[in-house]
Structure 1
Amino acid sequence: MSWRIYLRLGRVSNLPTVWSNTLAGVALAQAAEAEWPSASVVVLMVAFSLLYIGGMFLNDAFDRHIDARERADRPIPSGQIGAREVFTIGFGLLGAGVLAVAVHAFAAGAGLLPVVSAAALAGVIVLYDAWHKGNPIGPILMGVCRVLVYVTAALSVTLRRETPVLGGAALLLSYLIGLTYLAKHEGAYLAGKMPRFTLRRFWPLALLFIPFFALLPRSFGSAPALLLDAAFLAWIVFTLVDLRRGAPGAIPRTVVRLIAGISLLDAVLVGPSFAAALAVGAFALTLWLQRFVSGT
């Protein structure tokens, strides 16, 4: 089996956004106590990468019949790989990801909470993959997947509960609901059933802006923080302007750009720091990798 098919199934170009989510969850939990680079953070990045890729494999496996109608070039409907193999790899990667979190939690003395959170993440991934088409809460489920990366990463490195993780997770959830709402229409767009963008149809995209306005007051008095906020806002506006023009491929292109923007949001949430700089680097790396492997 060609490794290119596995890369495509796993949407590996988006992995840097998973790494920046991990950085943000750790940084928000530990604040100034975080040490970079950290072997602990690297282990967690690997664990969440396994969970993400496993989820992407299962997404194609569960969507194979729909893809046969709307995206016949996907690996399963095009006959490049069998559904059974994709299911096996997907569930295997989910199990490996949870196991990696468990090993880390045992070694770090973090207790069972990180393992429970990782298992919950795996469960929500499967639920989303199996039941996101036509599901009105599908965007929320997708957002919860990324939120649980924050929560699991935080629980893995600190036993404290008075951290800004939940606040950051709520803002991340808002952004991801808007993003996933748009992504839900990509199949219809590619099938030629929805050729034009309308604000009436896409009003949930307003949720993309909530993190900017919620965090802006915190940034006053800090030029680096304002610069991060401005970069995040500019990226959203840039992507939506292109969508509004209705150019060919607008929705798929906007989706992958907004996926990359997850790392920019991570940087804004963390605030000016080395972790934020790494998150900005993850944003740039995602855009570069998407040139070679589709992010959707």
Structure 2
Amino acid sequence: MSWRIYLRLGRVSNLPTVWSNTLAGVALAQAPNAAWPVGSVAVLMVAFSLLYIGGMFLNDAFDRHIDARERANRPIPSGQIGAREVFAIGFGLLGAGVLAVAVHAFAYGAGVVPIVSAVVLAGIIVLYDAWHKGNPIGPIIMGACRVLVYVTAALSVTMHRGTPVFAGAALLLSYLIGLTYLAKHEGAYLAGKMPRFTLRRFWPLALLFIPCLALLPISFGSTPALLLDLAFLAWIVFTLVDLRRGAPGAIPRTVVRLIAGISLLDAVLVGPSLGAALALGAFALTLWLQRFVSGT
């Protein structure tokens, strides 16, 4: 089986956003100026990468009948790979991801709580993949997947459950609900049934701006923090202006750009630091990888 098919199924171009989520979850849980647990971050990045790719495989497996109508060029409906194999790999990767979190928890004395969180994350991934088409709360379930990356990463390095972790998770959830709402329209767009863009129809996209607005007052105390927040805001505006113009390919292009923007939000939440610099690098790397492997 061609490795290119696996790359497409796994949407691996978006993996840097998973890595920056891991960095953000660890950073928000740590005390200010605390040393980075490099070993923990590396293991957790691998664990969440496995969970993400497994979820993407299962997404195609569960959507194979819909893709046959709307996206016949996807690997399963086009006959490049069988659904049974995709299901097996997807569930196998989810199991490997949970196992990696468990190994880390036992190796670093984190206890069973992060393992339970990882199991819940895997369950939410399966729930979303199996029940996101026509599900009105699908965007919330999708957002919960990324939020649980924050939470599981935080629990894996400390039992701290303070305001930064929960506040960051809430802002990430808001952004992802707006992003997923738009992504739900991609199938209709590709089928030539995309509704005209109106504020009344697409009002959930306003949720994309909540993190910027919520963090803006805090950012005024630091020029670098303010620049990060404004850069994030500018990126959202740039992507939505392209969508509003209705140019060819606007929906898929906007979705992948907003996916890359997850790492920008991570940088803003982490604040000016090495972690923010790495998150910005993840943003740039995602955009570059999306040129070779589709992010949707």
TM range (shorter): over 0.9
In structure 2, the residue matched to 1:196 is: 196
Shift of 1:34: 4.1
Change (3 A) 1:57 1:143: same
In structure 1, the residue matched to 2:216 is: 216
In structure 2, the residue matched to 1:73 is: 73
The answer to whether residue 277 in structure 2 is matched with residue 291 in structure 1 is no
Amino acid in structure 2 at the alignment position of 1:39:
G
TM-score, with length taken from structure 1: 0.98
Change (3 A) 1:34 1:53: farther
In structure 2, the residue matched to 1:15 is: 15
Shift of 1:44: 0.1
C-alpha RMSD of the superposition: 0.9
Number of aligned residue pairs = 296
The one-character-per-residue Cα deviations of 1:79-119 (angstroms, maximum 9, x if unpaired) are: 00000000000000000000000000001111100000000
Where 1:170 maps in the other structure, the secondary structure is: helix
Where 2:32 maps in the other structure, the secondary structure is: helix
In structure 1, the residue matched to 2:206 is: 206
The answer to whether residue 286 in structure 2 is matched with residue 268 in structure 1 is no
Paired residues for 1:143-162 under 5 Å: 143-162=143-162
For 1:224 and 1:33, how far apart are their aligned partners in 2? 17
The one-character-per-residue Cα deviations of 1:7-54 (angstroms, maximum 9, x if unpaired) are: 000000000000000000000000435434701100000000000000
What is the percent sequence identity of the aligned residues?
Answer: 90
In structure 2, the residue matched to 1:180 is: 180
In structure 1, the residue matched to 2:112 is: 112
In structure 1, the residue matched to 2:255 is: 255
Shift of 1:194: 1.1
The one-character-per-residue Cα deviations of 1:109-151 (angstroms, maximum 9, x if unpaired) are: 1110000000000000000000000000000000000000000
For 2:235 and 2:245, how far apart are their aligned partners in 1? 16
Judge which range, 107-116 or 193-202, deviates more: 193-202
In structure 1, the residue matched to 2:94 is: 94
For 2:161 and 2:221, how far apart are their aligned partners in 1? 28
Judge which range, 35-44 or 202-211, deviates more: 35-44
Judge which range, 152-161 or 28-37, deviates more: 28-37
Where 2:148 maps in the other structure, the secondary structure is: helix
Gaps of 5+ in 2: none
Shift of 1:160: 2.1
Judge which range, 54-63 or 29-38, deviates more: 29-38
In structure 2, the residue matched to 1:82 is: 82
Amino acid in structure 2 at the alignment position of 1:220:
F
For 1:58 and 1:31, how far apart are their aligned partners in 2? 37
For 1:221 and 1:262, how far apart are their aligned partners in 2? 23
For 1:162 and 1:187, how far apart are their aligned partners in 2? 39
The one-character-per-residue Cα deviations of 1:239-283 (angstroms, maximum 9, x if unpaired) are: 000000000000000000000000000000111111011000000
In structure 1, the residue matched to 2:233 is: 233
Contact 1:11 1:294 in 2 (8 A): yes
In structure 2, the residue matched to 1:52 is: 52
The one-character-per-residue Cα deviations of 1:134-190 (angstroms, maximum 9, x if unpaired) are: 000000000000000000000000022225101100000000000000000000000
Where 1:164 maps in the other structure, the secondary structure is: helix
